[in-house]
């Protein structure tokens, strides 16, 4: 039975989310502050985390950073604020999704179901390893190497790179990538994809890769492209 850790200092919101999660057949644990969430995580080992940003002792950003040191567990961040910089910051440190209060608990559970379905589908597949030129992607271990050097990428950045690279030459629109990587019709906007692509390119460009690149197809989207260099 899948499990979920709900971290929110608002007891009413936490109780509502827990009630809805139990109706989905999920095993639940609730943390009332960030420190408690960090302490519960290795003991409970949840399949997914609902993580409020504004919490005492440790805020959600700090909790996300701490958990990402050891785990790629899916994290959905919840906040009362809707500023772009906060949403982008959450995604940049490794969150999988971002929900702004007030929200519909049914919508939250729809996102939870979609992520858990994606996890189940991935676990049922054969080993997922891709190589091209000096690029290697191991989706089982979420490990990316360029020229045998590890590249520090977030979970979503790796999934975007995997999606593009394993369909070399295919152009993906922003909506294609949202649906392929997030696994459902995303409730936000396509700037999420642009933000991830920008950071992904910046990280990859620290390493030499003369024979491939992520190209922008203006007005359409992105593709992983082989580069023909004249020697």
Taking only the tens place, the pLDDT of each residue in 138-160 is 887 788 999 989 998 888 888 89
Residues present in the chain in total: 231
Single residue among 69, 101, 123 that ends a domain in this structure: 123
- Verify that 99 and 137 share a domain, yes or no: no
- Verify that 141 and 107 share a domain, yes or no: no
Single residue among 107, 123, 139 that ends a domain in this structure: 123
Specify the residue for token string 């379905």: 117
- The average pLDDT across 179-200 equals 74
Cβ(5)–Cβ(44) under 8 Å?
yes
- The average pLDDT across 11-31 equals 93
Cβ(212)–Cβ(225) under 8 Å?
yes
CA angle 140/173/196 to nearest 5° reads 55
75 strand-pairing partners: 49
DSSP line for 33-100 = SHHHHHHHHHHH--SEEEEESS-SSS-HHHHHHHHHTT----EEEEES---HHHHHHHHHTT-SEEEE
Q: What is the pLDDT of residue 188?
A: 55
Which region among 5-19, 137-151, 175-189 has the lowest average model confidence (pLDDT)? 175-189
Under DSSP, is residue 16 helix (H, G, I), strand (E, B) or coil? helix
- Would the pTM of this model clear 0.85, i.e. be above it? no
- Strands laid side by side in the 172-173 sheet: 172-173, 221-226, 212-217
Q: Which helix (H) or strand (E) holds 5?
A: strand 3-7
207 inside domain: yes
- Verify that 79 and 160 share a domain, yes or no: no
Specify the residue for token string 């260099």: 229
- Verify that 108 and 9 share a domain, yes or no: yes
Cβ(53)–Cβ(90) under 8 Å?
yes
Residue 147 belongs to domain spanning: 129-226
Q: What is the pLDDT of residue 81?
A: 67
- Verify that 141 and 109 share a domain, yes or no: no
Helix-helix angle 11-23:105-123, to 10 degrees: 50
Has residue 73 got a pLDDT over 90?
no
Tell me how far apart the alpha carbons of residues 24 and 18 are, in angstroms, rounded to a whole number.
10
Q: What is the pLDDT of residue 104?
A: 87
175 inside domain: yes
Task: Give the rounded percent of residues in the chain with a pLDDT score beyond 90.
Answer: 45
- Verify that 92 and 192 share a domain, yes or no: no
Has residue 84 got a pLDDT over 70?
no
CATH number at residue 17: 3.40.50.2300
- Verify that 139 and 32 share a domain, yes or no: no
Has residue 183 got a pLDDT over 80?
no
Q: What is the pLDDT of residue 177?
A: 86
Q: Domains in the chain: how many in total?
A: 2
CATH number at residue 163: 1.10.10.10
Condensed to tens digits (0 to 9), the pLDDT of residues 92-149 reads 777 888 888 888 898 888 888 877 877 655 554 555 788 999 999 988 778 899 998 9
């Amino acid at each position: 039975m899948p499990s979920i850790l709900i971290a929110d200092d608002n007891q009413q919101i936490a109780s509502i989310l827990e009630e809805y999660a139990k109706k989905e057949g999920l095993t639940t644990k609730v943390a009332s502050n960030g420190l408690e969430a960090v302490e519960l995580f290795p003991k409970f080992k949840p399949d997914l985390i609902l993580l409020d940003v504004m919490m005492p002792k440790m805020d959600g950003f700090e909790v996300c950073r701490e958990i990402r040191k050891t785990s790629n567990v899916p994290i959905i961040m919840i906040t009362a604020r809707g500023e772009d910089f906060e949403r982008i910051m959450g995604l940049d440190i490794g969150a999988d999704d971002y929900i702004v209060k007030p929200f519909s608990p049914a919508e939250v559970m729809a996102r939870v179901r979609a992520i858990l379905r994606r996890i189940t589908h991935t676990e049922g597949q054969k080993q997922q390893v891709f190589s091209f030129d000096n690029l290697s992607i191991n989706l089982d271990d979420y490990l990316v190497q360029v020229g045998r050097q590890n590249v520090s990428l977030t979970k979503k950045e790796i999934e975007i790179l995997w999606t593009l690279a394993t369909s070399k030459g295919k152009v993906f629109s922003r909506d294609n990538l949202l649906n392929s990587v997030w696994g459902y019709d995303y409730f936000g906007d396509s700037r999420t994809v642009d933000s991830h692509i920008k950071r992904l390119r910046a990280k990859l460009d620290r390493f030499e890769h003369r024979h491939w690149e992520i190209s922008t197809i203006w007005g359409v989207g992105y593709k992983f492209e082989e580069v023909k260099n004249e020697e």
